[in-house]
Copies of this chain bind each other. A is one copy, B any other.
Amino acid sequence: MRELEDRIVRDGKILPGNVLKVGSFLNQQVDTALIGRMGAEIARLFAKDGVTKVLTVESSGIPIAFAAASALGVPMVFAKKSVSSNMSGSSYVAPVTSYTHGKTYNIVVSAAYLTAQDRVLLVDDFLAVGQALRGLICLCQQGEAQVVGAAVAIEKQYQGGGDALRRDGVRVESLAMISSLDEKKGITFCTQPGQSL
């Protein structure tokens, strides 16, 4: 999605350690109009897949997942990173190791919201090593829900998580796919077929 790539170049910041910061428009301060268009693009990519539910994990994927689910006309579910006192009944739990934070935590979702009748689209803001998406896939497997694919705002292709998921048969769509990221050299994007500009 050319608009997103342009915005990353314009407003993204590369922090020491080659961390890409997009907090000014994507995952702390959120440009609602841009996110709305990203949601519409995700809905276009998965329009024919009979999606019944969009699943993400708190917190920064929620706006994009909400926008995609709105455009698809389906509910959005978000897994939590801790069990909350307002959860009741049985739950599904999966371990996730965060690349950004460097620790392992459990993600959890009420069993009632993922069922064998569901065709689930996974949505997140970033895809690096793919741990969060694999955790979400694990939750879907526990509920016997079918995963139709995953859509992420930004894939760091060079970290390999997206390609590993694709090798495992998961359809992964990225609105912006970064092939290299360097404090001095800047950001390079992969050319992607089949995406609208």
Instruction: Tell me the bound Cα distance from A75 to B28 in angstroms.
Output: 10
**Interface 9-residue window, one of A16-24, A135-143, A170-178, A180-188:** A16-24
Residue A59 is within 8 A (CB to CB) of chain B in the complex:
yes
Write the nearest CB–CB distance from A147 to chain B, whole angstroms. 17
A93 partner residues in chain B, CB cutoff 8 A: none
**Residue contact A29 to B113, C-beta cutoff 8 Å:** yes
Q: Is the interface of A mostly helix, strand, loop or mixed?
A: mixed
A67 partner residues in chain B, CB cutoff 8 A: 66
**Interface 9-residue window, one of A1-9, A84-92, A155-163, A189-197:** A84-92
Residue A130 is within 8 A (CB to CB) of chain B in the complex:
no
Residues facing B in A89-112 (CB within 8 A) are 100-101, 109-110, 112
Which residue of B is nearest A58, CB measured?
Answer: B59
Q: How many copies does the complex hold?
A: 2
| Known A24-B112, A62-B62, A62-B63; contact A86-B32, beta-carbon cutoff 8 A | no
Instruction: Tell me the bound Cα distance from A85 to B27 in angstroms.
Output: 13
Q: Which of B32, B85, B112 contacts A66 (CB 8 A)?
A: B32
A101 partner residues in chain B, CB cutoff 8 A: 84-85
Which residue of B is nearest A87, CB measured?
Answer: B23
Q: Which of B70, B75, B80, B85 contacts A59 (CB 8 A)?
A: B80
A-B contact pairs, 11 of them (CB 8 A): A15-B86, A23-B86, A28-B80, A28-B113, A29-B75, A30-B77, A32-B70, A32-B75, A59-B80, A62-B63, A63-B63
